[in-house]
Amino acid sequence: MFGIAKKEKPSIIFDFDDTLVYTNQIFDDIKNRFLWEMQNLGFADGHVLQVLNQFDIANVQKYGGFYKECFPFALGQTYEFYCIRQKVLIDEAKKQYFISLGETAYAITPKEVPQAKMVLSFLQKAGYPLFLLSKGDFQVQWARLKQVQMDSYFQVIKIVPQKTTAVFAEFCREQQINPHNAWSIGNSMKADINHALRIGMNGIHVPNPSWDYEEEEAIGDYLVADCLWDCIRFIEHTEKE
Ligand SMILES: [Mg+2]
């Protein structure tokens, strides 16, 4: 089922957000704060976060990727949407305040997923070529990598606005990675597993909570890790087969 060649150590391509560090929680905390403030403004219809999500997804699609403006803008747009719908005058200062609230997401240092550095260190010392393919805003992702001191574990770090099958294929070509002798490890079925499976890579899903945008059915066989340490077990076991 998993076509790992036995000669060379397989390459391992990690995802970053909600695979090695928790970022979803940062956004959820801000969303809850936003909801509370919107309720105080009289905009409590039970759908505020759904509307916010729709604007957020639309922004990602409009700008063509996960740029840092998408989420803060969505907060401002949601506020504006409710003002117009409820025929309330838009307070520009309030709108700017909500945009700034969204921007605070990028100033918070994310928490490390348990064992993340231990697992990276183990795999690095065991001689596995480690790579990071992270989706998001270039400056934000680099800053976070430095904050949590994970940048030194990877041979190559690539930050892309969007993960697609073509992005995985190009990355493997650039780094001379044989997809059949490589693993993709990530929390998103859509972004980390399905694209990898399409080019013949092996996938390990680390099911940490992620954003609605990421939900998708699996297109093939993959492994599920209860914790990051399981990844070592799976990779070493497959090598011995
Ligand atoms: Mg992720």
The 10s digit of each residue's pLDDT in 195-234 is 999 999 999 999 887 776 667 899 999 999 999 999 999 9
**Residue 153 Cα, ligand 1 centroid: separation in angstroms?**
18
Is residue 3's pLDDT more than 60? no
C-alpha span between 150 and 72 (Å, rounded):
26
Is residue 159's pLDDT more than 90? yes
C-alpha span between 1 and 91 (Å, rounded):
58
Structure confidence by residue, pLDDT tens digits, 86-113: 999 999 999 999 999 999 999 999 999 9
Using CB atoms within 10 Å of the CB of residue 85, give its burial: 0 to 12 exposed, 13 to 18 middle, 19+ buried: exposed
**Residue 17 Cα, ligand 1 centroid: separation in angstroms?**
4
Which of the four pLDDT bands, split at 50, 70 and 90, describes residue 240?
A: confident
Amino acid occupying residue 188? S
**Residue 214 Cα, ligand 1 centroid: separation in angstroms?**
9
**Residue 49 Cα, ligand 1 centroid: separation in angstroms?**
21
Higher pLDDT, 60 or 215: 60
| Average pLDDT of the segment spanning 167-178 | 98
Tracing tokens 């990051």 back to the chain, one arrives at: 228
pLDDT score recorded for residue 233:
95
Query: Is the alpha carbon torsion for 169, 115, 16, 156 positive or negative?
Result: negative
Asked whether the beta carbons of 214 and 190 are under 8 A apart, the reply is yes
Structure confidence by residue, pLDDT tens digits, 144-155: 999 999 999 999
C-alpha span between 228 and 205 (Å, rounded):
10
pLDDT score recorded for residue 214:
67
**Residue 40 Cα, ligand 1 centroid: separation in angstroms?**
33
Q: Please provide the average confidence, as pLDDT, over all residues in the chain.
A: 94
**Residue 97 Cα, ligand 1 centroid: separation in angstroms?**
28
pLDDT score recorded for residue 215:
75
**Which tokens in the block code for residue 132?**
């990071």
Asked whether the beta carbons of 105 and 27 are under 8 A apart, the reply is yes
Asked whether the beta carbons of 204 and 231 are under 8 A apart, the reply is yes
